[in-house]
């Protein structure tokens, strides 16, 4: 039970579940049903587990040095070596599942996405190129879903919306930790930019992501494109009027982009 608790905590449960639910929801929107939809959820979940476990294994020494007692490795619930073993097993399992569920082409899109998650964890997370794995991994997910379902290439706008929104979400997630990461000598795009420029870049990316979604909606449902744009402006207003932190306001904007993309695809 102790090891299970450690594995559950080390997998980064919040982002793991969020990505799994998001991709599964999009799979349902584009037409996946029944066993196929369950297979998509399993592929994504196991892939995210592999990335989460690798991330905690990679950061084990830093976590010990920083005295982060809440981390499973520091708390003695699991070892870094054990996490590496579980991460590699999950990587193999997710790859096999991806090809079984989505075929050689669709499955390869997902394996590509998982691979970039590992590349981020193993090195790029600490460099100014930390944004690149997010763009390339999340930009591949539409291909996983559409090619895997009926061998249809994903719309270019959908790939772009996923990639741009993912980079914005990456910066939003990194904003609260910039000073801590800098103090530990860690890099990353947000650290390189600094708090002010990282915030500006994140808002700029959400503007682009929202614009892509609104443009995709405009031809058939211009009123909905307008609603998405106004709702995005509402996220900015909420930051000022309700006292939301920039981080939480950005997450609201990113969530609106995701919701608008889902509506566009569903239409």
pTM over 0.75: yes
Tens digit of each residue's pLDDT, the chain (267 residues): 678 888 999 998 988 998 998 899 889 988 999 999 999 999 999 999 999 999 999 989 888 887 888 888 988 889 999 999 999 999 999 999 999 999 999 999 999 999 999 999 998 988 999 999 999 999 999 999 999 999 999 999 989 989 998 998 888 888 888 888 788 777 889 999 998 899 889 888 888 887 887 787 777 777 767 777 777 777 777 766 776 666 677 667 766 666 766 766 666
CA distance 91 to 109: 14
Query: Dihedral (C-alpha) 139, 16, 238, 192: value to the nearest 10 degrees?
Result: -60
With tokens 């196929």, the residue in question is 36
- Domains present along the chain, CATH in parentheses: 1-154 (1.10.357), 156-267 (1.20.120.1780)
> DSSP string of 12-37?
-HHHHHHHHHHHHHHHHHHT--HHHH
CB 110 within 8 A of CB 147: no
Residue ranges in 123-188 assigned as alpha helix (H): 131-150, 156-174, 178-183
């Amino acid at each position: 039970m102790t090891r299970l608790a450690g594995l559950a905590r080390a997998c980064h449960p919040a982002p793991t579940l969020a990505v799994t639910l998001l991709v599964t929801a999009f799979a349902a929107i584009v037409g996946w049903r029944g066993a196929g939809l369950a297979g998509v959820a399993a592929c994504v979940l196991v892939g995210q587990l592999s990335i989460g476990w690798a991330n905690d294994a990679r950061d084990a020494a830093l976590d010990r040095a920083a005295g982060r007692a809440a981390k499973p490795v520091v708390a003695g619930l699991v070892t870094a070596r054990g996490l590496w073993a579980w991460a590699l097993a999950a990587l193999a399992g997710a790859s096999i599942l991806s090809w079984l569920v989505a075929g050689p082409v669709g499955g390869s899109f997902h394996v590509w996405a998982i691979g970039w998650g590992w590349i981020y964890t193993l090195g790029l997370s600490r460099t100014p190129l930390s944004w690149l794995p997010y763009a390339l991994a999340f930009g591949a997910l539409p291909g996983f879903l559409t090619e895997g379902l009926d061998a249809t290439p994903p719309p270019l706008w959908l790939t772009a919306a996923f990639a741009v929104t993912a980079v914005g979400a990456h910066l939003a997630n990194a904003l609260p930790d910039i000073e801590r990461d800098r103090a530990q000598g860690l890099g990353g795009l947000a650290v390189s930019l600094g708090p002010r420029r990282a915030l500006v870049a994140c808002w700029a990316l959400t503007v682009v992501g929202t614009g892509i979604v609104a443009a995709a909606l405009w031809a058939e449902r211009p009123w909905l494109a307008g609603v998405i744009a106004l709702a995005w402006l509402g996220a900015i207003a909420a930051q000022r009027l309700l006292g939301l932190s920039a981080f939480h306001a950005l997450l609201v904007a990113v969530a609106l982009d995701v919701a608008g993309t889902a509506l566009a695809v569903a239409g």
